[in-house]
Amino acid sequence: MAPAATTPVVTLRPTGAVRRRQRVEQVVKAGLLGTASVSVLTTVLIVFSLLQPTVEFFREVSVGAFFGGTDWAPNFQPASFGVWPIVGGTLVVTGIAVLVAVPCGLGVAFYLSEYARPRVRRVLKPVLELLAGIPTVVFGFFALTFVNPKLVDRFWPIGDVSTFSALGAGLVMGVMIVPIMTSLSEDAMSAVPESLRQAGVALGATRREVSTKVVFPAALSGIVAATVLAVSRAIGETMIALLAAGNRPNLSANPGEDMQTMTAYIGSTALGDIATQTIQYKTIFAVGALLFAVTFVLNIASARVVRRFRQAYE
Amino acid sequence: MVIAVNDLMQLHRPASTPPTSHPVVMEAVGLSVSYGAFRAVRDVDLAIRRREITALIGPSGCGKSTVLRCFNRMNDLVESARVEGRLTYHGIDVYGPDADAGEVRRRIGMVFQKPNPFPKSIYENVAFGARVNGRRSKAELDELVERSLRGAALWDEVKHRLRASALSLSGGQQQRLCIARAIAIEPEVLLMDEPCSALDPVATAYIEDLMHDIKERYAIVVVTHNMQQAARVSDRTAFFTTEVADHGDRRTGVLVEFGRTADVFSKPADERTERYITGRFG
Amino acid sequence: MTAPVSLVGTVGIGRRIRDAAFRGLLYAAVGVALGTLLVLLVDTVNQGRPKIGMDLYRNFPSARPARAGIQSAIYGSLWVVGLTAVMSLPLGVGTAVYLEEYARRDRWYTRLIELNIQNLAAVPSIVYGILGLAFIARGPLGWGPTIRTASLTLTLVVLPTVIISSREALRAVPPSLRQGAVALGATTWQTVWRQVLPGAAPGISTGSILAVSRALGESAPLLLLGGLAFISFNPPAGPAALESPYTVLPIQVFQYATDARQEFHVIAAATIVVLLAMLLLLNGAAIAIRNRYQRKW
């Protein structure tokens, strides 16, 4: 140590203690970056886990036979790998779910954002969260033991309804998605400036006209994004389809029939303990890759629309 | 900078105050507004006349905007708002059983503090009121849009891009679009709530000129915090201030003085008016 | 000379009918959502009523309805969800702190991480099951159908939600707090550790509990990870449990629901009641924390 000078030396250089803190800072920052990279790693692993077996799958089954075929029977002899029946099942169930979720979710969003008094809103929102928190297997059980026998079987006019139906699964899936649709649409609606509503009212518009002609167009991109996400959620939903839509690959337009979705195929095939190198095992990954690709495109599209809509108000 | 009250009066256009009074369109008698237990403004007596601009001035919190928002029942949107006293339009009680809020607003247009065009095209903004207030043919709508945009002195600037987004306009243009939108529903009264407070001086001058030009056709009520603006554009001025409310902790707005702008600014009857006007500028 | 003035609504009855019809539609939408919730709850409780009781807890899963219970599933769920919480919390909060407090917005990798999380949150959970099957149960890790396989997979499922809700909680801490600490010479980490995290703790806990409760109800990925079996024993106490085979409540619901025998539907419904009760407990705790510690900045 230097002997004490008469005037203390002023320095802004780091002292020993500060240098130690800076080292801690570096370590912590690296650690946190490490945790953040786990999520990136997850995506990488998803892609890798899907890719290799899928590539192997397409060595044995031609791309044309997969995407062009209308007979899905991977477990039969001779096996057939036309994916359309389970894509069709997915589309029918998703279509029904979206037909329920979009109008219903939008209606609830309009009600919460434009009509409900604050007190009603304070009660209704937690109840909707409750709906959002119910496990999908519970919805599946409800579709199987209530909606299918008590509603679809009784009221669906076309053909015979078995224990399973795409309609029952789709209806319940639609209600399951309502909270997602509602919360995203309501976010978009509440982002519409109050001054626009006032302008509408001052021009003599009623609450309905303000809702449909001012708020709706202004929130449209957010609502579109919500819809896309709802579609993606319906396509990826497994348990309801597996329990209530049935497990028979069935390319049909009659939603009263039982059908297998892509997710249900994966779920039901994986139940049995199948050997790793078999073609049946690889179909799980091929169908999973298709599922991942479709939902990935939808999610990116939805994020894009949301970003554009944010910019509109900045 | 010190501007004497007399200098202020020179800003005023004496020609715009006619010797005779125009007929009364709207009249408030003992008008009070409360939000829940809080009384925002009380006992307001005002008469709004055709072909005149009435300015509502006063310090912030004095209730001038609240009063303005009574005139077209915008306070209906506030859950806790309660209006007492009498407010009439051609003798009809605006809050009475014979008055429909939508109809009130169709006859009494409003322009807001900040320009608030809908995120739609220029054309659709102007046509909005006509569309919700009854269907019209395409030709009628076209004609209405042009007439309204001309009325708001915006036509020449936007006639080639009526389908462009209203948000592409400048702030001043947006506010004129909002005026066009308001006059497109062909109201008799036009309420303007600090219409220039979000604009630069050049755009403000445009709007003030416009107000002067269109007052022949409307009864205009303008809220402003800008004393010079009130002096420049208005024929009558109502001065509001606040006083300690019944309960003590919050302040209630009261109307202090209402008269011809020339009189209110040059020889105010109430010393509170005088203090406010001179305090601001002296 | 002038036409008589009136303020009576002139725009026709049609408009008023449309207004009422629109309002009616909105009520109907709310009714469908709430009605379904109500019917679902009432119907499930009704179906499960005969089986709700101590026998359900005392017995283990079985192919014979009279002796079927869910004890191993309750303990399996507790283990799986507990481990999921232990793993997802530090990872999720760490990522959130990195993105909110450290990351530079203008860097491409920051955008990449953000986009990636957004996307992961919307990946179907069964795809995580495929990942778990290929990398965790089999493949490189090869952990087999065990509790640690299930927990790690579910950690990845809920991680995006934990991150997103933790970020929201961190964002709610006002910048002035950070500036105050930094102005006193604190490093970023000192600021975060002493000021920001304590301030954000209630929000982080609430969000994390809700995210973890999703793991309690999740079953699709576990279908691929050997969760479906009649497990007639509880996981051993202690670390050995990690390598134990398992079953969980939602999987048990699935298993009983897919059995054609009506008696099993009763057990499935009763299991749902137990599952919903546990979820309600978790959600109740989350809401209690929110209400107790929530502060307005």
Would an 8 Å CB–CB cutoff place C1 in contact with chain B? no
Other beta carbons within 10 Å of A255: 22
pLDDT tens-place string over residues B79-136: 888 999 999 999 899 998 888 888 888 899 999 999 999 988 999 999 998 888 776 7
User: Which residues from chain B sit within 8 angstroms of residue C7, using beta carbons?
Assistant: 89, 92, 94, 98-100, 103-104, 107
Q: What is the DSSP string of chain C?
A: -PPPP--S--S-HHHHHHHHHHHHHHHHHHHHHHHHHHHHHHHHHHHHGGG-SHHHHHSPP-SSGGG---HHHHHHHHHHHHHHHHHHHHHHHHHHHIIIII--TTSHHHHHHHHHHHHHTTS-HHHHHHHIIIIIISTTT---SSHHHHHHHHHHHHHHHHHHHHHHHHHTS-HHHHHHHHHTT--HHHHIIIIIHHHHHHHHHHHHHHHHHHHHH--HHHHTTT--S---SPPPSSGGGGGS----HHHHHHHHHHSSSHHHHHHHHHHHHHHHHHHHHHHHHHHHHHHHH----
Residue B48 has pLDDT above 70, yes or no: yes
**Residue A189 or B19, more confident:** A189
What gap in Å lies between CA C38 and CA C41, rounded to an integer? 5
Residue A48 lies in a domain: no
Q: Which residue of B has its CA nearest to C3?
A: B90
**How far apart are the CA of C104 and the nearest CA of chain A, in angstroms?**
12
Could you tell me if A251 and A88 are in contact, meaning their C-beta atoms sit under 8 angstroms apart?
yes
Q: Of chain B residues 107-126, which have a CB less than 8 A from chain C?
A: 107
Task: Write down the pLDDT at residue B281.
Answer: 44
Task: Write down the pLDDT at residue A5.
Answer: 52
**Distance between terminal CA atoms of chain B?**
8
Distance of CA B202 to the CA centre of its chain: 20
R_g of chain A computed on alpha carbons: 27
Q: Of chain A residues 145-174, which have a CB less than 8 A from chain C?
A: 145-146, 172
Residue A22 lies in a domain: no
What gap in Å lies between CA A145 and CA B280, rounded to an integer? 76
Task: Write down the pLDDT at residue B102.
Answer: 84
Q: Of chain A residues 229-288, which have a CB less than 8 A from chain C?
A: 229, 232-233, 235-239, 242-243, 263, 266-267, 270-271, 273, 276, 284-285, 288
At B2, is the pLDDT very low, low, confident or very high (cuts 50, 70, 90)?
Answer: very low
Could you tell me if A228 and C38 are in contact, meaning their C-beta atoms sit under 8 angstroms apart?
no
Taken in order of first residue, the domains within chain B and their CATH numbers are: 5-14+25-116+187-281 (3.40.50.300)
Residue A5 lies in a domain: no
> Comparing C-alpha atoms, which of B165, B160, B154 is closest to residue B206?
B154
What are the mean pLDDT values of chain A's consecutive 10-residue runs (314 residues total)?
A: 60 76 88 92 93 92 87 83 92 96 97 93 89 94 93 85 91 96 92 92 92 93 92 95 91 89 91 79 93 92 76 48
Could you tell me if A185 and A226 are in contact, meaning their C-beta atoms sit under 8 angstroms apart?
yes
CATH of residue A235:
1.10.3720.10
User: Which residues from chain A sit within 8 angstroms of residue B186, using beta carbons?
Assistant: none
Task: Write down the pLDDT at residue B78.
Answer: 83
Check B105 against A201: CB less than 8 A apart: yes
Residue A65 lies in a domain: no
Q: B–C: how many Cβ contacts below 8 A?
A: 28
B249 burial class (0-12, 13-18, 19+ CB within 10 angstroms)? Answer: exposed
**How far apart are the CA of A301 and the nearest CA of chain C, in angstroms?**
11
Task: Name the DSSP letter for residue A192.
Answer: S
User: Which residues from chain B sit within 8 angstroms of residue A203, using beta carbons?
Assistant: 105-106, 109, 128-129, 132-133, 181-182, 185
Sign of CA dihedral A248, A253, A257, A261: positive
Distances (CA, A) of C92 to A131, C97, C157, C225: 25, 9, 11, 23
Q: Of chain A residues 2-61, which have a CB less than 8 A from chain C?
A: 21-22, 24-25, 28-29, 31-40, 42-43, 45-46, 49-50, 53
Residue A99 lies in a domain: yes
Check A218 against B114: CB less than 8 A apart: no
Q: Of chain C residues 58-117, which have a CB less than 8 A from chain B?
A: none
**Mean of pLDDT values over B57-67:** 89
- Can you give the residue range of the structural domain that contains A217? 86-246+260-312
Task: Write down the pLDDT at residue C222.
Answer: 92
What single letter denotes the amino acid at residue B120?
K
Would an 8 Å CB–CB cutoff place C62 in contact with chain A? no
Residue A102 lies in a domain: yes
Check A142 against C40: CB less than 8 A apart: yes
Would an 8 Å CB–CB cutoff place C14 in contact with chain B? no
Would an 8 Å CB–CB cutoff place C291 in contact with chain A? no
Closest residue to B98, CB basis, from C7, C10, C11 = C7
Residue B245 has pLDDT above 70, yes or no: no
Would an 8 Å CB–CB cutoff place A220 in contact with chain B? no
With a cut of 70, which residues of chain C have pLDDT below it? 1-4, 9-11, 227-228, 294-297
Check A111 against C30: CB less than 8 A apart: yes
Closest residue to A24, CB basis, from C133, C189, C251 = C189
Would an 8 Å CB–CB cutoff place A211 in contact with chain C? yes
What gap in Å lies between CA C266 and CA A140, rounded to an integer? 15
Count of structural domains within chain A: 1
This prediction's pTM: 0.86
**Distance between terminal CA atoms of chain A?**
58
Interface test with A, best of B80, B128, B168 (most A CBs within 10 A): B128
Closest residue to C254, CB basis, from A107, A111, A239 = A239
Q: Which residue of C has its CA nearest to B93?
A: C7
**How far apart are the CA of A199 and the nearest CA of chain B, in angstroms?**
7
Topology of domain C52-293 in CATH is MetI-like fold (1.10.3720)
Residue whose pair of structure tokens reads 């139906």 in the numeric block: A165
Q: Of chain B residues 73-102, which have a CB less than 8 A from chain A?
A: 74, 77, 79, 102
Check B132 against A206: CB less than 8 A apart: yes
Q: Which residue of B has its CA nearest to A199?
A: B116
Task: Write down the pLDDT at residue B177.
Answer: 94
* Tokens standing for residue C21: 């019809």
Half-sphere CA count of C106, side-chain side, radius 13 A: 0
C65 burial class (0-12, 13-18, 19+ CB within 10 angstroms)? Answer: middle
Can you name the residues that pair with B24 across neighbouring β-strands?
B49
What gap in Å lies between CA B281 and CA B2, rounded to an integer? 6
User: Which residues from chain B sit within 8 angstroms of residue A191, using beta carbons?
Assistant: none
Would an 8 Å CB–CB cutoff place C120 in contact with chain A? yes
Task: Write down the pLDDT at residue A8.
Answer: 66
Could you tell me if C152 and C131 are in contact, meaning their C-beta atoms sit under 8 angstroms apart?
no
Would an 8 Å CB–CB cutoff place C260 in contact with chain B? no
Sign of CA dihedral A55, A60, A64, A68: negative
pLDDT tens-place string over residues C4-42: 677 776 667 888 899 999 999 999 999 999 999 999 999
Task: Write down the pLDDT at residue A245.
Answer: 92
Sign of CA dihedral A285, A288, A292, A293: positive
With contact defined as 3+ CB pairs under 8 Å, the chains touching A are B, C
Closest residue to A276, CB basis, from C102, C138, C276 = C138
User: Which residues from chain C sit within 8 angstroms of residue B102, using beta carbons?
Assistant: 9, 11
